[in-house]
Amino acid sequence: MSSDSKFEEDLTYALSRTAEAFRTETTRLDLVGLERGRRAWRHRRTTMTAAGATTLALVGGSVYLMAGIAPTGGAAAAASDRSATPSPAGLGRTSGPAPVSSARMLTALQTALPAGSFSNTEGLEDADVPIPGAMLTARFDDGHGLGVVSVRVERWAQQLTAGAQEVRCPDPGLRAYGSCQTSTLADGSVLTLFQGPEYPDGRLDTKRWAATLSGRDGRLVELSEWNSSASKGAPSTRPTPPLTPAQLTSAVTSHVWDAVLADLPVTEAQQTRPAAFPTAEIVATAARLLPPGLTPANVSASEDGYAGFTVDDGKGASLVEINVQDWSRSINTISGQYSTGETLPDGTRLLTSQEGSNPGHWTAEALRPNGLRVVVSVYNSAGLHQPASRTTRALTTEQLKAIATSPEWKLPG
């Protein structure tokens, strides 16, 4: 694997939203915004990357899309296996040199972690794309087997609450994992500790553990680790990642990041983040648009903008995922991914795709001229990581298109 390819891989899966999240499997509905999200483990298809963006990471329940270069369209997304919905931090910084060098990040990481050797370090200088905050990915060996660690530090205008997607645990109904806990520390910081498999389908026994800290001063520190020589595509090198949950906690709460934060610009998230529709509203609208006899059941949601539920036409449960977002403030960011596909008389861009078979999923997504984006997927199984329970899905492609383009979906106001 070339250095460029390896760095792109690390960027995509480092600090694993939720993520996936978000936005993180083939191409699904995200989360945000999020995980099949980071890649992402969340809602692959419907959370396709915005044009010119690439998923950076999935930590806890968050998926982060960083401005860069990413594949678009069903085939490209399937090949990359790393789609995700753009998250708040992903599109807010202009291009320019990274304010904190990889050398400084390595020095800080060496101070924050237990004794060990570092190699194959890569930071934002290697990315050549505008990414908020500071980041470093490296191989780490504590003498008990090689692992990978990845840290990312951002400075926000204010603290993220325990319910924010960046620190929220993922919905276990969307992705199986070992454990995830969010707590408030004595100084008011919000800490999330996550432990789970890198591949929920069990293709490799790679594990990903992560800690995410949101401080009262606006700091967001994320540290992820893997028990392998790469975050994706490599077999395990040891039974568990090198750092214990206590060591992860010590690292993200370390004051070594104070100097890094002091040199970082504030992430201006709200100005570029797509507004997400409330989950309850998505489910209620979908209920009106489903064919007669189909009713949403087993509703799951990881954050606003996304809803997952099953429908049963008498031939077995079929999972449906819907992502609804308002991109009116930054439609140019996402419009490029709709350069192919059908253009309807009202200017709506419409794309359809199909991926896999056991399970398989079929998708229709529409982007209206006013920035409203609706993505609808259906599976021939009752869950993301469950085998096919029926030969086909409960909704046809034409029905998916009808739901995605329905005038029932409206921008507020």
- In this predicted model, what pLDDT tens digit does every residue of 29-59 receive, in sequence order? 222 222 222 322 223 223 332 322 222 333 3
User: Could you give the CA distance from residue 391 to residue 358 in angstroms, rounded to a whole number?
Assistant: 9
Going by C-beta distance under 8 Å and a sequence separation of 6 or more, which residues neighbour residue 237? Answer: 145, 146, 147, 227, 228, 229
d(CA 48, CA 53): 10
Q: Round to whole Å and give the CA distance between 243 and 224.
A: 9
Q: The domain containing residue 227 runs over which residues? A: 102-267
Residues 76 and 168 in one domain: no
Q: What is the pLDDT of residue 82?
A: 24
- Tell me the CA distances in angstroms from 215 to 58, 143, 278, 399, one per residue in order: 19, 32, 27, 46
CA 387 – CA 110 distance, rounded (Å): 43
Task: State how beta strands 134-141 and 349-356 pair.
Answer: unpaired
Euclidean distance between CA atoms 160 and 221, whole angstroms:
11
Same domain, 399 and 314: yes
Domain boundary among the residues 90, 116, 135 is at 90
Q: What pLDDT, on a 0 to 100 scale, did the predictor assign at position 313?
A: 95
Question: Based on the domain organization, do 242 and 284 belong to the same domain?
Answer: no
Is residue 362 included in any domain, yes or no?
Answer: yes
Q: Amino acid identity of 388?
A: A
Q: Side-chain half-sphere of 98: how many Cα atoms within 13 Å?
A: 25
154 and 257 in a single domain? The answer is yes
Q: Tell me if 135 is assigned to some domain.
A: yes
Are residues 241 and 127 part of one domain? yes
Q: How far is CA 264 from CA 131, 150, 166, 259, 337, in A?
A: 11, 18, 18, 9, 31
Task: Note whether residue 95 is domain-resident.
Answer: no
Integer angstrom CA distances of residue 296 from 13, 262, 314, 394: 32, 48, 14, 12
Residue 266: C-alpha distances to residues 93, 104, 106, 115, 270 (Å): 9, 19, 22, 32, 12
CA distances in angstroms from 10 to 84, 129, 229, 233, 296, listed in the order given = 15, 14, 11, 11, 37
Same-domain status, 127 and 31: no
Q: pTM higher than 0.75, yes or no?
A: no
Domain boundary among 90, 114, 131: 90
Asked whether residue 317 falls in the same domain as residue 381, the answer is: yes
Given 267, 289, 319, which residue is the final one in a domain?
A: 267
Rounded to whole angstroms, how far apart are CA atoms 215 and 253? 9
User: Among residues 15, 247, 40, 260, which one has the least CA distance to residue 150?
Assistant: 15
Residues 215 and 359 in one domain: no
> 389 and 294 in one domain?
yes
Q: Are residues 228 and 124 in the same domain?
A: yes
Residue 157 lies in a domain: yes
Q: Give a yes or no: residue 379 inside a domain.
A: yes
Q: How many residues does the chain have?
A: 413
Angstrom distance (rounded) from CA 53 to CA 33: 14
CATH code for the domain in which residue 296 is found: 3.40.1000
Specify if 412 maps to a domain.
no
**Per the structure, how many domains does the chain have?**
3
The answer as to whether 96 is a domain residue is no
Residue 409 lies in a domain: no
My answer on whether 190 and 294 are in the same domain is: no
Q: pLDDT digit of tens for each residue in the chain (413 aa)?
A: 443 333 333 333 332 322 332 222 222 222 222 222 232 222 322 333 232 222 233 333 333 322 222 222 332 222 222 222 333 233 333 344 557 889 999 999 999 999 999 999 888 776 544 567 899 999 999 999 999 999 999 999 888 877 777 888 876 765 678 899 999 999 999 999 999 988 766 678 899 999 999 999 999 999 999 999 988 888 899 999 999 999 999 999 999 999 999 999 887 654 445 667 888 899 999 999 999 999 999 988 666 788 899 999 999 999 999 999 888 877 877 888 888 889 999 999 999 999 887 888 899 999 999 999 999 999 999 987 788 889 899 999 999 999 999 999 998 76
Specify whether 28 is located in the same domain as 121: no
Q: Look at residues 145, 252, 152 and name the one whose alpha carbon lies nearest to residue 206.
A: 145
